[in-house]
Structure 1
Amino acid sequence: MKQLYVILTTLVFWIPTFAQRDKSPELLISNVNIIDVKEGVVKTGMNVFIKGDRIHDVTKSTASDEAATFIVDGTGKYLIPGLWDMHAHPDDPEMWRMNPDEGSRDLLMPLFVMHGVTGIRDMAGSLQVVNDWREKIASGTLIGPAIYAAGPLIDGPNPMWDGSIGIPSTKHVKQKVDSLIDAGVDFLKVYSLLPDTIYFAMSKYARSIEFPFCGHVPQTVTNYDASKSGINSLEHLLDIPLECSSQEERIRNRDIDYGAINDRLGQYVFRNKLIIDTYDAEKARRLFKTFVENETWHTPTISMWYKNAWFETEKVKDQAYFKYLPAYMKKYWTPQFNDHLKFRNKEFLKVKQAMVDHYMRIIRDMNKAGVKLLAGTDTGANPLCWPGLGVHLEIEMFEKAGLSPLEALRTATINPAIYLGILEDYGIVSKGKYADLILLTENPLVSVSNTQKISGVVKSGSYFSKKRIEEYLEEIAERQ
């Protein structure tokens, strides 16, 4: 009997509470203010009818012949599309060394949804794990976001992380890429140790078959050349500050006088100070123009850089969130195990924090130049990059960098839908779209930080009230 009780309570926890499917439409959000992220306007007094997992109608009329089985009063509230995390690693290969178990790993999925993140771009991990999540989510036994996945990283002959696909030479490119596509990846992700010759052979082949690819700029390739090669998105602003420096050539050629500084950490600090101090606005403008011309998107993950630079103080502020993380993740987010938290002296932290400010300037200038931006957190191995919650910090930092609240909100709603080619189904609150929505108590066009003031979340037509979200989060905490 005890075993049966455990099984039943587990099923009750995972199956969505709103499961009535016998009347049409099933859910009505009445008299709500809809944020039209495409046009940038607020549509007041709207009624949103949801049938199954789709938005059945959006109208001013309650339509007497439409009998909703569940009604949410949206008076004075604001409805936005569900958010997307466009750089997530819930099954991060960097954490495989911690031997995560299936049950603990599964608990990460509802954390996204409970914070209004209804879709993610999984940027590396086991495709088997992703497909397992997809099956559980589709069957209703697991609450989780829509997932678009890269599967294994594509790296050089000696890959950096476990589970990666190493390509030893250009002649192996087609076979390796085809094997990933046959396995069912949604896109390709290139990584840092890929030699330039192999990278360009891979980019040429991917373009020839019109298959999307994105990722880190390999260490032997510039962002400029990666953009020219047709890469769809570039991640983390890697080497963007360097390519915006008037001293780029000297730094790349290691023609720097470090004086009496002999240690690697000291040289890192010196080099990054030089990069920051030699920002060339005209050089940056030309680079950003190239991104616009080639339609190269960028996922800055500025919140990741911020959390890393300010880890010591942010950890104290974020204590309340640790209870929701699985034990293996909490353990990995410590200096004992995490490479990101080592060698952190005063000068190192000072330059890391200065670089965050520099990234913010670059984001502002990119946005002004028309570069397309995506919200991503790099959640996974990176400490304090919280599943779900981190997206709200990312878009808040975009606003602080100089984007308008609307522009910041678009990076997590309509922009991901455009980038992924799924605008027909996601990104806007309108008839026919998937019913992935967030109900807010305050207007996010006044301040994008208002996305954190969640009254309810709709995922695939199932409604989670604020009270139910809090209950789910507590159940997750109890299971850790």
Structure 2
Amino acid sequence: MKQLQVTFIAALLLMTAGAHAQQPTLVIRNIRVIPMTTDTILQDRDVWIANEKIIRITPAAGKRAFRKKGFRQINGTGKYLIPGLTDSHVHYKNYVSVFHECDSLYLRYGITGVLALNGRPELLCHRDSIRRGLLQGPDIVCASPPMNDSTMTAEQAVAKLDTFRQAGYDFVKIYSDLSKEGFNAFSQHAAAYGLRLAGHIPQRVTTMGVLHSRQELIAHAEEYLYSPPVNYFMGNIETPVLPDTSLIPMLAKATADAHKAVSPTLITFYSIWQTAEDVNSYLSAMPLPAIDPVAVTWDWMNSGIPQKFAAPRGRQRMQAAFDFQLQLVKAFNDRKVLLLAGTDAPTMPGLVPGYSLHLELQLLHKAGLSNYEALKTATVNAAEFLHTADQRGTISEGKEATLIILDQNPFTDIQHTLSVNTVLLKGKIVSAGQPSRGRKLF
């Protein structure tokens, strides 16, 4: 018995010594921690960081305890600490010349990870440079170019999978006009190539076809409008006047039962609607960057989007479609569908990289999510979907020190996610002194 006691004490001493052997390189002092493990705030904590990770979270020791210490300190008094945010639907697209501008905007607004649903070789190189530490930017998970060939055969789809695997893509991007044969082949074989499926609901596959497939993520809540059983389209169309909201419970249940994730991108649809109503008024309230990536390719006068919704009936249908999506997202949340915050930025004016994700959180709250639930869509849920929950999405000892310091409490008002004070990427300060006081949509 005595020998067992000695062994236990020796082991305990070794564990204690190991815990304190790792010397911190940074301490965030006296901050309120929002761990996102539960709907709670840990008051007055010191967060100790070393080797890119959180090594300890302790009750605040007070300023005197940190005098003459050999590590960097941040005074977090009165501020709030949340995990870094993920935008689960972005487009670097053809804007190679402004990749770095996008990266800078994402980090400034606390977006430390993105799912890019429009891959190309240049973006894969950019992603790899960031991961090797050659460039500073959000971690990029990259999908293939959109698969949109209405004549694609099963053999052609399998050949694409082999190409995508060799290139290093993470997902295959499914798009609206893809053939049923191509889609079915992607669904059947993608996993064998180490690839996952995300994207639209192809017209030839329909909503139920996607729900019964291996596509894991449906991008855009509006996709449910354009397929059976809803069949509600945009433009100057007379009937039906309103989408059938009685279908919402069935759609939510079917999506939950199929274990699909949904990125509603409400801000995308909202921006199209608002620019159709009054483009100048809507954009004047946006903090447009010095280089607007959209301006590289967007031709407002010749684009089909504003022209399509110019008629009053078209704008009325957008209002009805937006209201339907709000109800649908609420039903998804009630059914525990995994919701991911995404923006589609910067595919059109008003969708500013980084900034728009905070507006998406406001719209998710308007749809009926609590502030905590809305914040989960960009933290916990994103980490779960991207299989990185062991490292990101919550704040706890051993997790990656990718964090945001906010000046205000996002649990009292979701708009306060815009009060970004400091952004840390793997323990390094990448943005500070640029607090973002954005607009409140509602």
Answer whether contact 2:27 2:49 (CA < 8 A) is retained: yes
Structure 1 residues 196, 68: closer, same or farther in 2, change over 3 A? farther
SS of residue matched to 2:338: coil
Aligned partner of 2:322: which letter?
V
- Name the structure 2 match of 1:273: 241
Identity percentage over the alignment? 27
- Name the structure 2 match of 1:338: 303
CA RMSD of aligned residues (A): 2.7
Q: How does 1:184-195 map to 2 (within 5 A)?
A: 184-195=168-179
Q: How does 1:397-476 map to 2 (within 5 A)?
A: 397-464=363-430, 466-467=432-433
In the alignment, structure 1 segments of 5+ residues that lack a partner are 1-22, 159-167, 255-263, 471-480
1:385-412 alpha-carbon deviations (Å, 9 max, x no partner): 1100011000110001110001000000
Moved over 6 A (4+): 63-66
In the alignment, the residues of structure 2 paired with residue 359 and residue 228 of structure 1 have an alpha-carbon distance, to the nearest angstrom, of: 22
Answer whether contact 2:124 2:168 (CA < 8 A) is retained: no
- Name the structure 2 match of 1:216: 200
Structure 1 residues 390, 202: closer, same or farther in 2, change over 3 A? same
In the alignment, the residues of structure 1 paired with residue 225 and residue 354 of structure 2 have an alpha-carbon distance, to the nearest angstrom, of: 28
Shift of 1:66: 11
Answer whether contact 1:25 1:66 (CA < 8 A) is retained: no
- Name the structure 2 match of 1:42: 41
Aligned partner of 2:300: which letter?
P
Q: How does 1:46-445 map to 2 (within 5 A)?
A: 46-60=45-59, 62=61, 67=69, 69-90=71-92, 92=93, 96=94, 100=95, 102-136=96-130, 138-140=132-134, 142-156=135-149, 168-208=152-192, 211-241=195-225, 248=230, 265-267=235-237, 270-271=238-239, 273-274=241-242, 276=243, 278-280=244-246, 283-311=247-275, 312-313=277-278, 315-319=280-284, 321=286, 323-326=288-291, 329-330=294-295, 332-343=297-308, 344-445=310-411
Shift of 1:204: 1.1
More displaced 10-residue stretch of structure 1: 111-120 or 185-194: 185-194
SS of residue matched to 2:221: coil
Give the TM-score normalised by structure 2.
0.85
SS of residue matched to 2:339: coil
In the alignment, the residues of structure 2 paired with residue 78 and residue 184 of structure 1 have an alpha-carbon distance, to the nearest angstrom, of: 37
In the alignment, structure 2 segments of 5+ residues that lack a partner are 1-21, 437-442
In the alignment, the residues of structure 1 paired with residue 70 and residue 149 of structure 2 have an alpha-carbon distance, to the nearest angstrom, of: 55
SS of residue matched to 2:333: helix
The number of equivalent residue pairs is 410
Structure 1 residues 244, 408: closer, same or farther in 2, change over 3 A? farther
Shift of 1:339: 3.2
1:433-452 alpha-carbon deviations (Å, 9 max, x no partner): 22211111221112221101
More displaced 10-residue stretch of structure 1: 177-186 or 67-76: 67-76
- Name the structure 2 match of 1:11: none
SS of residue matched to 1:232: strand
In the alignment, the residues of structure 2 paired with residue 272 and residue 303 of structure 1 have an alpha-carbon distance, to the nearest angstrom, of: 24
- Name the structure 2 match of 1:8: none
Shift of 1:334: 4.5
Structure 1 residues 77, 124: closer, same or farther in 2, change over 3 A? same
Shift of 1:133: 4.4
Shift of 1:354: 2.5
SS of residue matched to 1:153: strand
- Name the structure 2 match of 1:17: none
